[in-house]
Amino acid sequence: MIDYELPLLKAIAENRAVLLSGTDQAAIVDQLIETLLSPVATAIVVDDLSSPEQEALDFLLKHGGQVEGPRFSRQFGDIRSMGPARLEREQPWQNPINPAEGLWYRGLIFKTFQVTRQGSQEIVYIPTDLLPFLNTKSSQSETNKSTLPVNPTTPPNITLSSFNRLRENVFRLLIHLQTTPVRLQKEGDILASDKEALAQTLLPPLHRAFTTEGELEFLLHLCQRATLLTVAHGRLRPERDATRTWLQATPAQQTAQLQKTWRADHTWNDLWHVPSLVPQQTGWENSPMLARSKILGHLSRLDAAEEVWFSIENFVAAIKQIDPDFQRPNSDYESWYIQDRQGNFLMGFAHWNEVEGGLIRYLLTFILPILGVVDLGSDSETTAPGRFCVTPLGHAFLQGQPPEENVSLKPGWLRVGTNFQVRIPAHASLYDRFQLARFARLESYENQRAIYHITQDSVKRALRNGVTPDQITAFLTRITNNQTPLAVVESIRNWGTRYGTVQLESATLLHLKHEAVAAELRQHPGLRPLLGEVLNSTTILIPAKHVAQVRRFLIELGYIE
């Protein structure tokens, strides 16, 4: 206060009913401080606050007594800058135009600047020696409140369950990349045809805005960050040890591992993947980890028991009210160059719903359902999901607790029919399914139960990848408790015995008029290595790959034109 102009000190004194004596500034400051730090005087002035002013004070108290100046101004108004002459002329303390000025001219709040990583930043604060007298019962209650102010809503007509989606889709990608070569281009991209084939392996989209291409991009990135995928000899394929460990883990552990991988991944910038936004690379940076941790933190504060539903828009509105700058610690809404799909720039706090709100909706309706953290709900098949529910695995993830295993879900034996179909029970080991999928093709999948079909082509695919018939039959014996039909075993062995024993090759016959010519050609040092089997005294087989070279030699020697 020693830096305040004398008219401002007098304004605060008048608002606090302090009779000043003298004109010495230091003495006036001392007189004011005595009143400002009086518990009784402070209680009286707080009781005299209007409801908006009390709300502004409680807001500061809830945030530890200080908050960024732009954020405070957006909610409670600007404190008009006035020189001494204007202060004396207009006397704004007599009729403050907003809650911020009401607190300012009562000496309850002050302003300063702090140096941050983003530069100098204005701060509105309550002095630390004044804070103890302002923690009223109402503000203490608000400060200690642990739940997010979002009320539950009615259950939706249609539930879009994310249960087991993450495990199933990652499994399908792993088996496709194990059995089908997918090579990367020089830029590290996957060919469009390979992307399409990978996308077709995934489960159908949860809802109409849930693009398969976007889910594939996220899952491939996630699997690489979890070290489940690697690049070897230009080919994208499962990393052997990490994949085996993941496949042999429990379902809850498999999901939790991938959830934690995303939470700690600084290389996936969620904001830059929001479908409705087009960020421009002009040098500005945002922290995906900061925004992600803040949104997950607010989700963890929901007062939600199992199967309690919340409105997506109400959740967005609650964050805008209590933590609008969750991804912008310096309240900078001017330097992030972001456009919408129509090319309009979304600069300023006025576009919060499009940018910050768009990011929250993207996480709630896309990323978190992929990860099994939330289920979605909608009113009809044609409407976009408007509600969400945190799943049991999502609760554990948000609270940072180990997931609970469902010990009652024990997989049974796999069954192989005489029609070469293999029925997979729900909750079957993904490791066993992975081994089976190497020599059988997926025929149907519903309610976590899968049916695979063993065919001659699918077995040949496994044989080409180095799997032997004995390994296949031994595996079937183990997973079916020695109940595999004998006809299936014999067919697999027959397919394996025949495979590779016959070879078709293209060749050219070289016909000669005299035996002497044949002997002459076979003795030629350049031709001899190129000639194939001698069928008779005047006929020699020429392999297809050597025909062009043999033709050149014969022309040079004058045998043909």
In a domain, 561, yes or no: no
Spatial contact of 422 and 415, defined as CB atoms under 8 Å apart = yes
Q: What is the DSSP letter of 318?
A: H
Domain, as residue range, for 178: 155-406
Last residue of a domain, one of 350, 371, 406: 406
In a domain, 1, yes or no: no
Q: What is the DSSP letter of 23?
A: S
All residues at 6 or more sequence positions from 14 whose CB lies less than 8 Å from its CB, including other chains = 93
Both 293 and 427 in a single domain? no
Q: What is the pLDDT of residue 20?
A: 78
Both 191 and 295 in a single domain? yes
Both 392 and 442 in a single domain? no
Both 351 and 205 in a single domain? yes
Task: Give the pLDDT confidence of 216-247 residue by residue, as tens digits.
Answer: 999 999 999 999 999 988 899 999 999 999 99
In a domain, 105, yes or no: yes
User: Residues 145-171: what's their mean pLDDT?
Assistant: 89
Both 61 and 86 in a single domain? yes
The CA distance from 269 to 374, in Å, is 20
pLDDT above 80 (res 410): no
Task: Give the pLDDT confidence of 4-27 residue by residue, as tens digits.
Answer: 888 898 889 888 878 877 778 888
Task: Give the pLDDT confidence of 172-198 residue by residue, as tens digits.
Answer: 999 999 999 999 987 788 999 999 999
Q: What is the pLDDT of residue 500?
A: 66
Q: What is the pLDDT of residue 31?
A: 85
366: helix, strand or coil: helix
pLDDT above 80 (res 306): no
Q: What is the pLDDT of residue 201?
A: 95
Q: What is the pLDDT of residue 209?
A: 81
Q: Please, which pLDDT band fits residue 412 given cuts at 50, 70 and 90? A: confident
Task: Give the pLDDT confidence of 52-109 residue by residue, as tens digits.
Answer: 999 999 999 988 899 989 889 988 999 999 988 999 899 999 899 999 999 999 999 9
Structure-model confidence comparison of residues 514 and 303, the more confident one: 514
Both 226 and 352 in a single domain? yes
Task: Give the pLDDT confidence of 246-260 residue by residue, as tens digits.
Answer: 999 999 999 999 999
Question: Which CATH number goes with the domain that contains 127?
Answer: 1.10.10
Both 353 and 426 in a single domain? no
Both 356 and 256 in a single domain? yes
Lowest pLDDT segment from 184-193, 338-347, 356-365:
184-193
Phi first, then psi: what are they for 423, rounded to 5°?
A: -95, 125
pLDDT above 90 (res 304): no
pLDDT above 70 (res 407): no
Both 268 and 306 in a single domain? yes
For 196, the enclosing helix (H) or strand (E) is helix 192-201
Both 111 and 201 in a single domain? no
Both 435 and 475 in a single domain? yes
Q: What is the pLDDT of residue 139?
A: 43
In the chain, how many domains are there? 4
Q: What is the pLDDT of residue 254?
A: 95
User: Helix H segments across 63-164?
Assistant: 69-76, 84-90, 99-104, 131-134, 137-144
Q: Give me the amino acid identity at 475.
A: F
Phi first, then psi: what are they for 415, rounded to 5°?
A: -120, 130
Last residue of a domain, one of 124, 144, 164: 144
Task: Give the pLDDT confidence of 369-405 residue by residue, as tens digits.
Answer: 999 999 999 998 889 999 999 999 999 999 888 888 7
All residues at 6 or more sequence positions from 179 whose CB lies less than 8 Å from its CB, including other chains = 437, 438, 461, 462, 465
Last residue of a domain, one of 79, 111, 144: 144
| Angle in degrees, CA 431, 434, 437, rounded to 5 | 150
Q: What is the pLDDT of residue 116?
A: 65
% of the chain surpassing 90 pLDDT? 55
Q: What is the DSSP letter of 22?
A: S
What pTM was computed for the model?
A: 0.74
Both 179 and 300 in a single domain? yes
Return the bridge partners of 116, or none: 119
All residues at 6 or more sequence positions from 48 whose CB lies less than 8 Å from its CB, including other chains = none
In a domain, 511, yes or no: yes
In a domain, 149, yes or no: no
Q: What is the pLDDT of residue 501?
A: 63
Q: What is the pLDDT of residue 523?
A: 85
Q: What is the pLDDT of residue 314?
A: 96
Q: Please, which pLDDT band fits residue 360 given cuts at 50, 70 and 90? A: very high
Other CB atoms within 10 Å distance of the CB of residue 411: 12
The CA distance from 191 to 198, in Å, is 11
